[in-house]
Structure 1
């Protein structure tokens, strides 16, 4: 009965508009008090939840993304992508995807991609005569590549909660991220044919070479981060610090676009974003501890396996659960709550924790594109000055290729497991 009350209070607070961290913390505190446990248990578990070395990477990856945006580096990335793939029909749509792939190797966050590149991409597409719904839709969908291609903030959090190698998770995200990009470019090609979208500009070696030279230093960022992690030069935490140092070097020395005021603003934005994430992680930890202590995962596994022992059916049911939760809950909170419940079931039916992490994160990324909590849609509604409801409609068709990739990754594990198996096992 007390466990039922835990979920009732949680959902009531969420529906009432309380912050996720508050909803999780208050519902957990009420459970602890009614169960006769000392309130200090809540604080103890919350502190332990964020007392994790890999989580140090979170503020540094956040700061690196903010520095890239503030220093104007996103503009150079967009220009490079435009010179590389703008010659294709529907060129700026392909540029949109290509720029997101490059930026993914720097920020690791979908919202950072949408906020940083989104304004540049949508403005350029509007000026070139592209429909607003197409511009907003492809910008939203391509931003979800960020948390799949390393570095990835959600994968760092999942790795901590699941006690899984973050290096292997980063390696596992490379091929799925490229599959997402390819599928979205196929969708762009379809739109270009149906709506007769033009090429952006003809391919020119001189233009491409010039754009490459201007973007060469930013392009080294994902090489430093991803290459350093995959080849054992950095731990993910050290790579995050290296990303900040390199971003500062670009902004202060190479491009000289960073000032003391801008660095101060970036630092304050980083503190604010990090505090929000850490509060959610801390509150989710006590909530997950309650679920674990009351054997909710075991009960869920028993009920699910009692319903069916078919691996395919179980995976589909779990993915449906994640998709529904992702529509209503912020990504980090969803990871910390769902992982302790679903991961044991996945392992029981033979799913590798690394593989499960990739399909879990991709599923939750799709949730960022769906109401009522779709954060990417809210960001794009702001930067594009398009109503939220219209953003939802514009993004809906682009869910098709993303769901198709999700199903491929779910049922063809080698797509995500080949690289980590080759490098680490």
Structure 2
């Protein structure tokens, strides 16, 4: 008689099994939360506009679910390694050093999460005394998302570390992070006597060290803020969790996941392909014609998705194969893709515009109106470089599309081309708010995919919803961490000192504008647009008001400056996103992008010098 002995699973396989089970427990609720947000906001719009009976509880419920979506999305992003980080310097290191820094980039968030879990629990308990006005339930139900999300991220970070094959390197990475944390703790009595010099140590030194080592930006900000407050002040850390919660709870930011999902929908339903095919039929026979199509397509799609990563992912796979077939060099393609990403930062409904409006109090509808022309100015400067580069191309073998072909493609593209105008009309006519309008776009896209284009891949919906939650969580955790850092900077008195320095620059508004351009170019290349806006928007915009600068004009200039920095190598993370989307090595685009960046700077100067470009249609 044979007896079969069951061998216990290896520790590594057990870790993988736990990790997969945890992923399912987080991804399915996160996907359902995205669907729930769409339905709740859509119900609010329908009830108010069609039935004339506003749902008083819709915004409150949407806000409550939103914090849970943000935190669960951040968990998914951490598990997938999708939190925004700068890897320009890490990528140049030896393979062994890269592997070590990858472990440090997980160990450092682990330290932050250990710091935040306790204060997050205290914060959630403190919120129990608050009852929500419409639903009449304890606010702890909403605030509990922070400790639960932090605990889940803690578990994910531990599992990721346990999956490494090199235990020696893992112990070294943990020891390095522990040694740095212990060193700061030991120096606490000395740090408390340094005053505002601590701002340089924590918010410049520590943040720079973390970011350059590849630690995700949100956790770099969080570590610096918690370290500064814990070691140099007597502020309860639950207060910082409250500021993070406040930063992530702005209802206007709910449009982030919804526009990300909308961007994926237009690609899946074939709407992006229809737009680009029409533009290609118009300009395919012109020298550099498909490059003009790329510039125009990014302008059109940016008005829909609001996410640059979604824009590039929708366009590059459709256009690049044909452009390569016509002789375009890969480096020039990725350089132009990155440059158009910078050009379209002001096109509504840009996530940066929405974030800026929420943290500075500038009217979002005014920002949406003011953002169209500045992007056209930069598009013209980019097109001038395209014309110069392709002026000698031989197009003898390219057939020009007939009028009949163009008309046929236009008929196919009309429903897709109408989407940006539907979204804009809904906001202008008061049908929906800037937050709600994305749901109208989603319904329109679903209808177009099912009825008009007859292309709707149901199997892709679940991965799209999970991707939406992941990207949204990564963005929103940065906003929360940056809000906490901005609060700490404000409490230190730094903001008033910066305001005095900037306001006291000789030359008044002109000098302030020039200094702002330089500052936001640098910030854009290091931080990315959203955290830079959250950190410095509330500090810089009051100064602009004091100097008599129109807020919308100033907003366009700083957003475009950040966009140029964001997509400029070697540090701009947007450039590496463009390379990833187009599957082209970053080295190939370094030289070609210089001309496009110069064109963008010229366009930026024109926008700064002529306020009418930003404000001409506001009245």
TM-score, with normalisation over the residues of structure 2? 0.65
Q: Could you say which residue in structure 2 is the equivalent of 1:128?
A: 326
Structure 1 counterpart of 2:368, from 170, 178, 182: 170
1: CA distance between counterparts of 2:505 and 2:408? 60
Between the two proteins, the alignment pairs up a number of residues equal to 421
Instruction: Specify the SS of the correspondent of 1:370.
Output: coil
Determine if contact 1:80/1:208 at 8 Å carries over to the other structure.
yes
Structure 2 counterpart of 1:253, from 440, 448, 451: 451
Task: Return the offset for 1:339.
Answer: 0.8
Measured against aligned partners, the alpha-carbon deviations of 1:91-148 in whole angstroms (never above 9, x if no partner) come to: 1111111211221221122222222201222211101112333322222222334432
1: CA distance between counterparts of 2:524 and 2:314? 23
2: CA distance between counterparts of 1:248 and 1:373? 38
Q: Could you say which residue in structure 2 is the equivalent of 1:270?
A: 468
1: CA distance between counterparts of 2:241 and 2:600? 39
1:239 aligns with 2:437: yes
Determine if contact 1:326/1:363 at 8 Å carries over to the other structure.
yes
1:37 aligns with 2:229: no
1:2 aligns with 2:198: yes
2: CA distance between counterparts of 1:200 and 1:43? 60
1:15 aligns with 2:212: yes
2: CA distance between counterparts of 1:239 and 1:139? 27
Task: Return the offset for 1:193.
Answer: 1.3
Q: Given the superposition, is the C-alpha separation of residues 166 and 341 from structure 1 closer, same or farther in structure 2, using an over 3 Å criterion?
A: same
Q: Could you say which residue in structure 1 is the equivalent of 2:298?
A: 100
Structure 2 counterpart of 1:156, from 337, 349, 354: 354
Q: Could you say which residue in structure 1 is the equivalent of 2:588?
A: 390
Q: Could you say which residue in structure 2 is the equivalent of 1:223?
A: 421
Residue range with higher mean Cα deviation, 182-191 or 366-375:
366-375
2: CA distance between counterparts of 1:402 and 1:248? 36
TM-score, with normalisation over the residues of structure 1? 0.94
2: CA distance between counterparts of 1:144 and 1:336? 19
Task: Return the offset for 1:74.
Answer: 1.8
Determine if contact 2:341/2:563 at 8 Å carries over to the other structure.
no
2: CA distance between counterparts of 1:129 and 1:394? 15
Q: Could you say which residue in structure 1 is the equivalent of 2:522?
A: 324
1: CA distance between counterparts of 2:396 and 2:384? 15
Larger relative contact order (C-alpha < 8 A, sep ≥ 6)? 1
Measured against aligned partners, the alpha-carbon deviations of 1:265-287 in whole angstroms (never above 9, x if no partner) come to: 11011000110111011111111
Q: Could you say which residue in structure 2 is the equivalent of 1:363?
A: 561
Q: Could you say which residue in structure 1 is the equivalent of 2:34?
A: none
Task: Return the offset for 1:168.
Answer: 0.5
Q: Could you say which residue in structure 1 is the equivalent of 2:313?
A: 115
Instruction: Specify the SS of the correspondent of 1:398.
Output: helix
Q: What is the Cα-based RMSD across aligned positions, in Å?
A: 1.9
Q: Given the superposition, is the C-alpha separation of residues 197 and 94 from structure 1 closer, same or farther in structure 2, using an over 3 Å criterion?
A: farther
For structure 2, the residue ranges without an aligned partner over 5 or more in a row are 1-196
For the pair shown, the structure with the greater C-alpha radius of gyration is: 2
Q: Could you say which residue in structure 1 is the equivalent of 2:152?
A: none
Q: Could you say which residue in structure 1 is the equivalent of 2:616?
A: 418
Task: Return the offset for 1:63.
Answer: 0.6
2: CA distance between counterparts of 1:335 and 1:194? 42
Determine if contact 1:296/1:341 at 8 Å carries over to the other structure.
no
1: CA distance between counterparts of 2:465 and 2:326? 35
